[in-house]
Structure 1
Amino acid sequence: MPFVSIIIVNWNAKNYLKGCIDSLLSQSFTDQEIILVDNASSDDSVDFVKKNYPQVKIIQNTENVGFAEGNNIGIKNSSGKIVALFNPDAVAEKDWLHILVNVVQDKPNIAAVTGKMYYLGDKYGKDAVFCTWSKIDHLSANPTNFHDDEPVSKVDYLSGAAMLVRRDVLDKIGLMDKDYFLYFEETDLCARMIRAGYDLMYIPSAIVWHAVSPLSNSENKVYYMERSRIRFALKNFDSLYAISFLFIFLGETFFIIFRDIKNRNFSRTKTRLRAIMWNLSNFKNTLRARRKHLSILAKNGTVQSYNKNLPLRSVKTK
């Protein structure tokens, strides 16, 4: 069985760390290391882990470098043939790691895997499902999570809250793109896996419980989601699909503006314009990143269409 490195990127999540780390140390699959990458927390997270979990390797950043770069730092300082990305506010059932390792090991066509994710706590009802299948609309780049009893399947992307990735795949496609900072980082990584011809698998028997982010439904979440969505489409969509995306996004923007004029509340318009301005000022950087990653893929193998090879492309959302 391969050695697994579990990377936890933490920022002020001390209240969740006990449940998270206890669940990982209690896994039936024990050939693992846990690496906590702390993004300059101010809630004594590091001291708590040092005192209670001396077996956990800790990397302290002097600033909040974001989720993507935090994971990159952890991956570079890990040794496992399989890398698990795991959120500090998540709790894994005992066989979670064993199930996913069995799926991904020695299967060269499978790059990464994830399991079924429930909400941690009863805020949304008992045993409410957070995510099963994850789909990207091939025209608008809007993400959708399914929430029912979806079976084992290839999917469009995997949640970075709890996923396993083969290191040899990362060696071929590159690490996470740090310029997203928040949201779409794992979707970008999965897009490169699909372009490289790999499969991403959803396995419902591997179960994780995940707390709702403090950013949920906030203006900041909307801003980062829209900012990252634009960058994702420009960077990863096939050229003609990227043009289609821009027309769709423009239409959405006009709708938001007209609605805000009618309601005399321009907060949503301001948020979208902020996201657009960020992408305009970083447009050259996005194009450079696109060329860089496509070049890496071409050097290590074939580069196939992203939009035409999305596994859930034809699956209708509710």
Structure 2
Amino acid sequence: MKIAIVILNWNGRNMLKRFLPILQSNLIADSVVFVADNASSDDSLQLLKSDFPDVRVIELDKNYGFADGYNKALQQIDAEYYLLLNSDVEVTSDWIEPMLWFMEANHDVAACQPKILSISDRHSFEYAGACGGFIDKYGYPYCRGRIFDTIEYDKGQYDNPMEIQWTTGACMLIRSSDYWAVGGLDGRFFAHSEEIDMCWRLRLMGRKLYCIPQSKVFHVGGGTLNKSNPRKTFLNFRNNLTMLYKNLPDKDLRHVMAVRWWLDYLAAFQMLILNRSWGDFKAVVKARRAFHKWKKQFLSERQEIQLRQESAPDVQVRSSYSILWQYYFHRKKEFSRLHPSVSKGTKQFPNVVLLPQIEALLNEGHTVTLQLRGYSMRPFLEDNRDKALLIKACHIAVGDAVLARLPQGGYVLHRIVKIKGDEITLLGDGNLVPEHCKRSDIIGFVVGFYRKGRSAIDKTNGIKWGLYSIIWMLLRPCRRYLLAFYRRVWLKMFKPI
């Protein structure tokens, strides 16, 4: 099947009765709804059997929590995509298509989420995920549309698709291959921070995460645990510290953990004195003790993750600033104040929307300037830095850089390395595995590149590009080693070429 929509349920009978009918009326072809039941003690299973016979039920033998509950359920499902969905989410019409189309067109993206609004105030973002998740240098999560308890109104200010640092488990579309490539959610977490931990590991593998606001859902929030709950406080603090221990690079671990010691106890006393919550105070203290007691369990995984850090040195998994400092001292309580360019200026659109329009313009005889995305044409071309000038493809030859539509979906701007009749073989300068298409799939021919923000164009029929092309194609047998040197050595010492 294409998409398995999987709801993890624990005593959520009322939520299922309220939101499953809306979900069932807004499905797409080749999508199947599953409910994995974490040994509920209410009559959830009876409700599913009587009122929702088309929903496939997976009965787990005990409450495994969010993380391992999903792991054990997904092991029993064969699908190209998993769509993790909370039982207290109300979907909307056409909510799946924008995310699926985006994933189909962008194979370097592992997972995405929709815009998540509050069901109690439909003009406000919802706490859990809002319009995409981020994490600061000390491990504090925040969102585009929600920083700590400041929740913004949705005024369309974040309606551009954006690469993010984590996707919410409340509604996440993820490739099953990527889910299992990183081992899924960490079942030891039980609940809270598990999706951020998994997203961190995905990004260390070079995979991308996006929020697609053209998809929209409404979330109740706090459907299992209330926001102010000592158990939730315990899980949040313990799991967040564990996530940092697992994933932080060696050079940052000691400093971050020292700062967190002070900040965690400051938070604990704030809960005790200002909020008068003895339960939350004890939960923070117990969480720190629990973390130190079990962190040895994660040592081997930490060592494996450090090897991934070395192979992906330029992946920005965390923000470079402290969100506490920005929020409390600089009074930057909206995401747009942290990133002013996000809500104004040129909007970014997913390839699935943009490239078909470019194809139409090229077929009409227009020239098109395309902002390049991704690293598949390194070392000469960089993600979001350089642009390509395209015309309609007429006569093509080996060595030409072209825009092509792939048979399996999506577009690439890569170099032709082989032509055999109607069969075309493409290879990105920064790739090792070629793609294949037909001659009719070549829709654009690159006549030049604008590099490093320059207004002068590097023409593809010029001496500079021609010499580079010849040399790089001759070096193809040793490209693996040259690219590894460029990524691991050159970029650490110098700027991109």
State TM-score, norm by structure 1: 0.88
CA–CA separation in structure 2 for the residues paired with 1:287 and 1:262: 36
Cα contact 1:117–1:208 (8 A) shared by 2: yes
Contact 1:238/1:305, CA 8 A, preserved across alignment:
no
The residue that corresponds to 1:163 in the other structure is 172
Q: Aligned pair in 2 of structure 1 residues 267, 311: CA closer, same or farther (>3 Å)? A: closer
Give the conservation status (yes or no) of the 8 Å contact 2:204–2:317.
no
Structure 1 residues 254 and 34: CA distance shift in structure 2, 3 A: closer
Residue 143 of structure 2 is aligned with which of 145, 148, 151? 145
Residue 96 of structure 1 corresponds to which residue in structure 2?
95
Query: Within the alignment, does 1:201 sit opposite 2:210 as a pair?
Result: yes
Which residue type is aligned with residue 309 of structure 1?
Answer: Q
**51-60 or 227-236, larger mean C-alpha shift:** 51-60
- For 2:273 and 2:193, locate their aligned partners in 1 and report how far apart those are by CA, in whole Å: 31
SS at match of 1:129: coil
Q: What is the DSSP-based 3-state SS (H/G/I as helix, E as strand, rest coil) of the residue aligned with 2:289?
A: helix
RMSD: 2.5
Deviations 1:27-59 (A, max 9, x none): 252211111111111111111011111121111
Tell me the distance in 2 between the aligned counterparts of 1:112 and 1:305. Answer: 21
Q: Partner letter of residue 317 of structure 2?
A: L
Give the counterpart letter for 2:125 in structure 1.
V
Structure 1 SS opposite 2:96: helix
Give the conservation status (yes or no) of the 8 Å contact 1:90–1:161.
Answer: yes
C-alpha distance 78-249 of structure 1, shift in aligned 2 (>3 A): same
CA separation of 1:108 and 1:218: change in aligned 2, threshold 3 A: same
Instruction: Using the TM superposition, name which of 237-246 and 43-52 deviates more.
Output: 237-246
- Counterpart contact for 2:115–2:217, Cα < 8 Å: yes
Q: Normalised by the size of structure 2, how large is the TM-score?
A: 0.58
In 2, Cα distance between equivalents of 1:59 and 1:80: 15
The separation in 1 between residues aligned to 2:241 and 2:100, in whole angstroms, is 33
Q: Cα 1:247–1:75, aligned 2, differ >3 Å: closer, same or farther?
A: same
Matched-pair contact (CA < 8 Å) for 2:229–2:280: no
**For 1:259 and 1:33, how far apart are their aligned partners in 2?**
46
Q: How does 1:1-318 map to 2 (within 5 A)?
A: 3-120=2-119, 122=120, 125-130=121-126, 131-137=130-136, 139-147=137-145, 148=154, 149-150=157-158, 151-213=160-222, 214-256=225-267, 266-291=278-303, 303-305=311-313, 309-310=316-317, 313=320, 318=333
- 2:51 is matched by which residue type in structure 1? N
Q: Which has the higher contact order (CA 8 A, sep 6+)?
A: 1
- Are the aligned partners of 1:23 and 1:92 in contact in 2 as well (CA < 8 Å)? yes
Give the 3-state SS of the residue equivalent to 2:116 in structure 1.
strand
CA displacement at 1:241 relative to structure 2? 2.0
Residues 50-59 or 7-16, more deviating = 50-59
CA contact (8 A) 1:14 1:48 kept: yes
Q: 2:237 & 2:103 partners in 1: Cα distance?
A: 32
> Which one has the bigger helix percentage?
1
Higher mean displacement: 266-275 or 222-231: 266-275
Q: Which consecutive aligned stretches of 4+ in structure 1 deviate over 3 angstroms post-superposition?
A: 256-269, 291-295, 311-317
Aligned mates of 1:183, 1:258 — CA distance in 2: 22
Structure 2 unaligned segments of length 5 or more: list them.
146-153, 327-331, 334-497
Helix, strand or coil at the partner of 1:163: strand
**Post-superposition CA distance 1:237-283 (Å, at most 9, x none):** 11222222211111114434665787797544422111011112211
Give the Å deviation of 1:189. 1.1
CA distance in 2, matches of 1:227, 1:88: 25
Q: Secondary structure at the match of 2:58?
A: strand
Q: Which runs of 5+ in 1 are unaligned?
A: none
Residue 468 of structure 2 corresponds to which residue in structure 1? none
Counterpart of 1:234 in structure 2: which amino acid? Y
CA gap of 1:109–1:53, structure 2 versus 1, over 3 A, is same
Instruction: Return the alpha-carbon distance in structure 1 between the equivalents of residues 193 and 58 of structure 2.
Output: 24
Asked which structure has the greater CA Rg, the reply is: 2
CA contact (8 A) 1:134 1:155 kept: yes
Cα contact 1:115–1:205 (8 A) shared by 2: yes
> Does structure 2 retain, via aligned residues, the 8 Å contact 1:154–1:311?
no
Deviates more, 1:9-18 or 1:54-63: 54-63
Q: Distance in 2 between matches of 1:261 and 1:78?
A: 45
Identity level (%) = 23
Q: Is the 8 A contact 1:23 1:94 kept in 2?
A: no
What amino acid maps onto 1:97 in structure 2? I
Separation of aligned partners in 2, 1:172 and 1:252: 34
Give the whole-Å Cα distance in 1 for the aligned partners of 2:305 and 2:79.
23
SS at match of 1:54: coil
**Cα distance in 1 between the residues matched to 2:12 and 2:20:** 12
